[in-house]
Structure 1
Amino acid sequence: MKNISTLKTIINVFYWLLVLSFGGTILALLGINFAGFFTSGEGLSIFSIFNSWQFLLIFIPLLVLYFLFIKGVHHLRATMPLLSTGDLFAEKVSGHFSKAGKLFSIVGVLGILFQLIVPLIASSKMKVSLDFTTISCVFLMIIGLFFLFFGEVFQKAKMIQEENDLTI
């Protein structure tokens, strides 16, 4: 149980750091965009990028991906109280693992697509690279598939436990 309580603490801290950074990012973007209205003359050129369609096309999907990732971590966080009480085969556990897996897989796939589309938008060139972000997206897809598999395993284990309870 010590390991689960440690994992619960780590996931809670990670979740709240993600939520705070997401809120801070939105506030910073709104603040920078709002500050552009108060500048005049030469100062406007600094903030002109935030009013362009390219900004919206790049940062809005990034914020959506970030939100989906936070939602996936939230589903993992929701499993911790059930796991810490020993209720391993609750239907909620397998459901939360499956939802987290789907969200992580979606974020990974969309992250890779985003890596391919952004250079087309920004510079009208197709650029394929194997950098840290691409590897992170692939890793996130693998983690997502793992949690999908884990959710299915917990669902099967629940069915086997119910059968076992009926035969005894």
Structure 2
Amino acid sequence: MKRLPILKTLIDIIFYLSVIPLIFGLPFIFLLGIMPDKIPLTLNNEVLSITGAERILFLLLILVGYALHVYALYLFRKVLQLFSRRIIFDDRIIKNFDQMGKAILTGTFIIIAPLIFYSLIKKPIEIKLGFSSILCTLGLGLFFMVLSEVFQMAKKIKEENDLTV
């Protein structure tokens, strides 16, 4: 557990830096609603041609997905705090791992839904094969859900071993 304080510090820094865009995101979206022509909205180096309510909804969905990712970081911080107190096989850790996975998966789907919708409507359909950060993020969400199940099984085995001793 020598590396745990380093990981905890790193996750704390990432969490606090991630909260900053979350705080300023809603006022920014409000400003975009007031002055849509002043701030161009780009996606993959391409200016988006959506305006008005579509643009605000697009950005609100991305902000909600981002907020779910920040929530997953918050839960991870809580898990690391429990680990630092040497609490390993606890229901809180199992629940947090499961919620982290669900938050990451839901947040990723909320983020990619408007992107896919925009791509289907405004751009020609193209299929690209390769490594994608979206696939990694989905894999990370599934990993935390599986980790929750593994901790649940380990807790059950530990309880059975404690009863036999």
What is the distance in 2 between the residues matched to 1:128 and 1:71?
33
CA distance 1:32–1:117, change in 2 (3 Å): closer
Amino acid at match of 2:38: I
Q: Let me know the Cα RMSD of the aligned residues.
A: 2.7
Partner of 1:148: 145
Aligned length in residues: 157
Q: Please give the per-residue CA displacement for 1:11-57, whole angstroms capped at 9, x wherever unaligned.
A: 111111111121122233334545x4xxxxxxx85379997122123
Whether the 8 Å CA contact 1:58–1:118 is kept in 2: the answer is no
Residue segments in structure 1 that go unaligned for 5+ positions in a row:
37-43
Q: Using structure 2 for the length normalisation, give the TM-score.
A: 0.81
CA distance 1:112–1:21, change in 2 (3 Å): closer
2:89 aligned with 1:97, yes or no? no
Amino acid at match of 1:28: F
2:82 aligned with 1:85, yes or no? no
Q: Using structure 1 for the length normalisation, give the TM-score.
A: 0.80
Partner of 2:46: none
Partner of 1:108: 108
Matches within 5 A, 1:29-108: 29-31=29-31, 33=33, 36=35, 45-46=37-38, 52-108=52-108
What is the distance in 1 between the residues matched to 2:37 and 2:83?
53
Paired-residue identity, %: 27
Q: Please give the per-residue CA displacement for 1:49-98, whole angstroms capped at 9, x wherever unaligned.
A: 99712212311111111111111111111101111111110111111011
What is the distance in 2 between the residues matched to 1:107 and 1:130?
23
Given candidates 155, 160, 163, the residue that maps to 1:158 is: 155
CA distance 1:89–1:24, change in 2 (3 Å): same
Deviation, 1:8, is 0.7
More helix by share: 1
Whether the 8 Å CA contact 1:108–1:138 is kept in 2: the answer is no
Secondary structure at the aligned position of 1:46 is classed as: coil
Deviation, 1:129, is 5.2
